[in-house]
Chains A and B, each alone.
Chain A
Amino acid sequence: MNKEDSLQELMTAWQQHSDRIEQIAGQHDLSHIKLVPRLFVLSSRRRRILSSLAMALVCLTVIVGMVILRQHYISDIFDQFFFAFLALLMVVTLIQSLRQIFLLRQQPQLNFQFSIFNSQFSPYSRAAVFASVVVMFLFFAVPIPNDRSMSQASLSHRSAAITNVSFVLSNII
C-alpha cells in the first residue's frame, strides 16, 4: 500500500466519520453544548478587567471635573445624587476588576493576544466608552444657560428676571 492509498483511506474514513457526526447532530439538538476555548476565557477576563478599570477611571475623571466645575454652578441635591452615583459606580467597578484579577491569577498563563482581546469588545462597552467621552466633551463645550441657577423656580419669573438684567446691562450710561 503506497502513501496515496493510505491518504485516500484516511480521507474516506474521515468523511464517514463526519457524515456520522452530522447524522447524529441532525437527530439531536446539540445547541446547548458550548465549547469555550481557554484563550477566549482568558482574553474575556482581561477584557473585563480593562473595561472595569476604564469605567473606574472615567468615573474618577468626571468626579474631578465636577469638583473643578462646581465653582461655576450651584451644588444641589440633583448634583449630589449624580456625585454619589459616580462614586458608587467607581467603587463597584474597582471591586469587579480586583475580583477578575484574582481569578485571572488562578489560571495558567497563555500568551496574551491583543488582537483577539480587542475584537472581543462588546458593542455595549464601546457605546459606553464613546458616550463617556462625548459626555466629558459636553461638560466642557455646552454653555451653561444664564437662567440655570436662580432663587426662583418659576420659569416665567426666571425669564423676566434675565430679560431685566440683560436690559439693564445694555442700557447703562
Chain B
Amino acid sequence: MRPKPKQIILSAVIFLAVLGVALAVRLWPRTVPFDQCSDLYKHYANVEGIDATFIKDYKVNDTVFVDVTLLEATDSVIWTSLKKDFDVPNPSPNFQQFIDNGEDLIYVKLIPKSTTTDTILTPYPNDVLAISHLKRTLTVFHIKNKEELNAVRHYNYDKSTNQ
C-alpha cells in the first residue's frame, strides 16, 4: 500500500512539529524561580544600587557546569560597601594604575559558602570570588567539588592547552 501525497505531507508536518516542540523544550530561555536561586542572589536581589544576577549551570567547559552569582555595583559608594561585605582590599597603587589605564586585571579569592546549609550539602566548603575593580563587579562561582574549582581557576590555562 503506497502512501498518498497528502499522508506524506501530513507525516512531515507531524515530524517537524514534534521536532520543533523538542527543540523549544531544550533551548527555551527559562527564568529560575526566586527560591531556587543562590542565597547570595536572594540577599542582594532587592538591594538598591546592586544589579544582581543568578545564572544556573554556567558552562565552564564540556563537562563542568557551575552556578554563578553576579553582583554589579552601579556607583562607587555601593561598590565600596560591596567590597567591605566580601573583605575585598583596595587595589595597590600599581594595580590601581592598570585600572586607571583601562586594563581590567581580575583576581580571585576563595570565600566560605554563604550559608551553613550550603556548607553541609556540598563537600567543598568554599566558593570562588572573582573581583573586577574596573567594572565594579563581583562574580561568585558556587563550587561543589575540586573539579569545578580547577575548571574555574585554570580556565585560561585549559583553554590555551586545548587549542
Whole-angstrom distance between the Cβ of B147 and the nearest chain A Cβ:
15
Whole-angstrom distance between the Cβ of B9 and the nearest chain A Cβ:
10
Residues of A within 8 A of B78 (CB): none
Whole-angstrom distance between the Cβ of A29 and the nearest chain B Cβ:
21
Interface residues of B in 43-69 (CB under 8 A from A): 45, 52-60, 65, 68
Whole-angstrom distance between the Cβ of B163 and the nearest chain A Cβ:
13
Taking a contact as CB atoms under 8 Å apart, the answer to whether A173 and B12 are in contact is: no
B7 interface contact, C-beta 8 A: yes
Given contacts A148-B27, A151-B53, contact A170 B156 (CB under 8 A): yes
A114 interface contact, C-beta 8 A: no
Flag A65-93 by CB within 8 Å of B: 1 or 0 each.
00000001110101100100000000000
Number of residue pairs spanning A and B whose beta carbons lie under 8 angstroms apart? 157
Q: Nearest CB to that of B137 among chain A residues?
A: A164
Interface residues of B in 133-157 (CB under 8 A from A): 135, 137, 139, 152-153, 155-156
Residues of B within 8 A of A11 (CB): none
Q: Is the interface of B mostly helix, strand, loop or mixed?
A: mixed
Provide the bound-state CA to CA distance between A84 and B131, in Å. 43
Taking a contact as CB atoms under 8 Å apart, the answer to whether A132 and B18 are in contact is: yes
B31 interface contact, C-beta 8 A: yes
Q: Is the interface of A mostly helix, strand, loop or mixed?
A: helix
Taking a contact as CB atoms under 8 Å apart, the answer to whether B55 and A149 are in contact is: yes
Taking a contact as CB atoms under 8 Å apart, the answer to whether A172 and B108 are in contact is: yes
Q: Nearest CB to that of A160 among chain B residues?
A: B53
Q: Nearest CB to that of B45 among chain A residues?
A: A151
Out of A128, A151, A173, name the residue touching B34 (CB < 8 Å): A151
Taking a contact as CB atoms under 8 Å apart, the answer to whether B25 and A82 are in contact is: yes
**Beyond A131-B18, A173-B106: 6 further Cβ-contacts under 8 Å?**
A73-B56, A76-B33, A124-B14, A128-B18, A169-B155, A172-B156
> Which residues of chain B have a CB within 8 Å of any CB of chain A?
1, 3, 7-8, 10-12, 14-15, 18-19, 22-23, 25-34, 36-37, 41, 45, 52-60, 65, 68, 70, 72, 104-108, 130, 132, 135, 137, 139, 152-153, 155-156, 159
> Which residues of chain A have a CB within 8 Å of any CB of chain B?
72-74, 76, 78-79, 82, 119-120, 122-124, 126-128, 130-132, 134-135, 138-139, 142-153, 155, 157-158, 161-162, 164-165, 167-173
22 A–B pairs (Cβ distance < 8 Å), ordered by A: A74-B30, A82-B25, A119-B1, A124-B11, A126-B11, A127-B15, A134-B18, A134-B22, A138-B23, A144-B57, A144-B59, A148-B28, A150-B54, A151-B37, A152-B31, A152-B53, A161-B70, A162-B55, A164-B70, A164-B139, A169-B130, A173-B105
